[in-house]
Structures are given as C-alpha cells and as structure tokens.
Structure 1
C-alpha cells in the first residue's frame, strides 16, 4: 500500500507531525534546562498522543483508499491480505 500525499487528511497529518516535532524539540530543551519532571512527562504524553493520532489517520486513509480500490475492482482476491496488513498496522500503534 503506497502512501501518496493527497487530500486534506494527509496534509492534516503532516501538520500534526510538524507540531509533534516542535513538541519533541521543546521536550529536549526542557530536559537540558533541568525542568520539572512532571512538566516533561506531560509534554511527552502530549507528543505521544499526537504521533498516535497521526498514525491512526494514515491507517484510516489507507483503509478508505483500499475500500474504494476494492469496490472499483469488484474482487475479493486481495481482501484478506489487505485486512491482515491493516490489522498489523493498527496493532503496531496499540
């Protein structure tokens, strides 16, 4: 399954990842400055949630594309293999 950067869904994912990148840079600064542990962990949790949401959005977009492709092809040949691949992707984020 190829990931083509098309549609608002994936642009939103890229924006979310850029924000997470900024959060992670901020977390590194916080650690280097000796900031409070609770503040650092709170920011780590926020960055982790942002990354998880980005991953789920990518998987959902892939699932949507697979369903459209499958409907247009009208076949079941690859349906089980695709379901297993998508299940594996979902579990990788669990």
Structure 2
C-alpha cells in the first residue's frame, strides 16, 4: 500500500507538468461524447425531480456510466499508443508504474 501511495503521489505531481496532445478529431469526439453525457446527467436530475420510477432512473444511470467508460477507453487507448510509447522510447520506465495506477483507478468501478 505504501508503494502504491508513493507511486500515486509521484504520478499526480508529474501530471501537473505534462500535457497530452490529442489530434483535433479525437478532441472533438471526446468533447461531443462529454456534452452528451452532460445532457444525460441533467436528464437524470430532472427525472429525480419529477419522481420518475426508480428503475427507469437506474437504467439511465447505467447508460451514462457506459458512456463515461467509452470516454475512458478512448483516452486510455490514446495514452497507451502516444504518451506511454513516447516515454518508454525515451527510457522513462516510470510511466509503467503510472499506467498501473491508472488501470487500478479504472478497475475500482
């Protein structure tokens, strides 16, 4: 657990200095996906305010979670093919520890 905390602290501090470089079509796709998710969240909030049947709300929550997972998959794929490959080619093997922490975060769902 101590090692995991050290890795997480290191990656969080490093994350503040780095930027990703997504191609414009990927940025546009991610932004569109997130805009739809934002709309879904507003819709769920409205459903709760209108006392919609719980099962219907849960169905919408599941769809929203699936949409968020899709965004995470696109980002992870780009991260692996871009950032991770680049850093490994530069000899920076710490990126592997960072990647493990990231995968652990995704698997907590």
Q: TM-score range by the shorter chain?
A: 0.7 to 0.9
TM-score (norm 2): 0.71
User: CA offsets per residue over residues 29-70 of structure 1, 9 Å max, x none?
Assistant: 000000010100000011111111111211211111132x25
Long gaps (5+) in structure 1: none
Partners of 2:77 and 2:22 in 1: CA distance: 14
| Gap change, CA 1:55 and 1:44, over 3 Å in 2 | same
Long gaps (5+) in structure 2: 1-17
Tell me the matched-pair count.
89
**SS state of the match for residue 2, structure 1?**
coil
Tell me if the contact between 2:30 and 2:71 (Cα under 8 Å) persists in the aligned partners: yes
Given the alignment, which residue of 61, 64, 77 partners 1:44?
Answer: 61
**Which residue of structure 1 aligns with residue 7 of structure 2?**
none
TM-score (norm 1): 0.81
Runs of 4+ in 1 over 6 A off after TM superposition: none
